[in-house]
Amino acid sequence: MNILIVDDHPLTGQGLAALLMANTAGARVECVHRVTEARARLHAPTPPDWVFLDIQLPDDPRRTLLDELRDGPLAARTILISALANLPVIRAAIASGVRGFIPKSADPAMVLEGFACIRRGQIYLPAALSGLMADPVGSHADTRSLSPRLAEIQLHVLRGAPNKVIARDLGLSEHTVKEYISSILAFHSVRNRLELVLKLQGPPVPDDPLDTV
């Protein structure tokens, strides 16, 4: 397992690298401190399996590297780290398939727990952050903040299509569909498909027994 850490603070990056190598079997961890170095590693013949990305890089104030990861095949293999929880950035990243956020203030147990959850295909956010990530206005099936792929899959879910059918229709593996749906559920702060449907579409309206038309 190859892990790339992108963090402009060498001490923080090396500390995270040491923690991951000591507690993750077979982990090979590299830490880079500049966006140009990160891009070189990401476009290498053998790209990393996982990326821990600081979202407050001074040489990338517009977060172009995050945008590139969100739009590429490593989106579901990216974990955000930062000293500050920038909710709009984190929410947009989760909407594009990024797997989670771990604050730099996290203790080692939280870091390892978060990484383990993400490797199991789940979304990880600290408990204190999960509530703040909830949609404050209710999107009612508004998909403008989702990536085009996630918006497409969300529509299939709202229509009741099972994972196997979504995978067949979109030419994806069922595992990939499952990961995308996990991202959609995390984006809307719901636990399952039923809660997603109830949040976006509301409860079903019962038939009117007096309606004979």
What is the total residue count of the chain? 213
Residues 102, 18 share a domain: yes
Residues 109, 50 share a domain: yes
Residues 37, 118 share a domain: yes
pLDDT digits (tens, 9 = 90+) for 103-136: 998 999 999 999 998 988 888 888 777 666 654 4
Assess contact for 69 and 98: CB atoms under 8 A: yes
Residue 133 pLDDT:
62
Residue 58 pLDDT:
92
Is 207 part of a structural domain of the chain?
A: no
Residues 8-23 as b/e (b if ≥16 CB within 10 A, e otherwise) read beeebbebbbebbeee
For 24: left if phi > 0, alpha if psi spans -120 to 50, otherwise beta; the answer is: beta
Which residue among 98, 130, 162 closes a domain?
A: 130
Is the pTM higher than 0.85? The answer reads: no
Residues 108, 8 share a domain: yes
pLDDT digits (tens, 9 = 90+) for 42-100: 999 999 999 999 999 999 988 999 988 987 888 889 999 998 888 888 888 887 788 88
Average pLDDT over the chain reads 84
Is 138 part of a structural domain of the chain?
A: no
User: Is pLDDT at 184 greater than 50 in this prediction?
Assistant: yes
Residues 95, 59 share a domain: yes
Quote the CA–CA distance of 23 and 208 in Å, as a whole number: 59
Q: What average pLDDT does range 141-161 have in this prediction?
A: 77
Is 175 part of a structural domain of the chain?
A: yes
Q: At what angle do helices 193-201 and 174-187 cross, to 10 degrees?
A: 50
Tell me the two tokens of residue 130. Answer: 């999960």
Per the structure, the complete domain to which residue 40 belongs is given by: 2-130
Report the domain count for the chain. Answer: 2
Is 44 part of a structural domain of the chain?
A: yes
Residues 152, 73 share a domain: no
Is 118 part of a structural domain of the chain?
A: yes
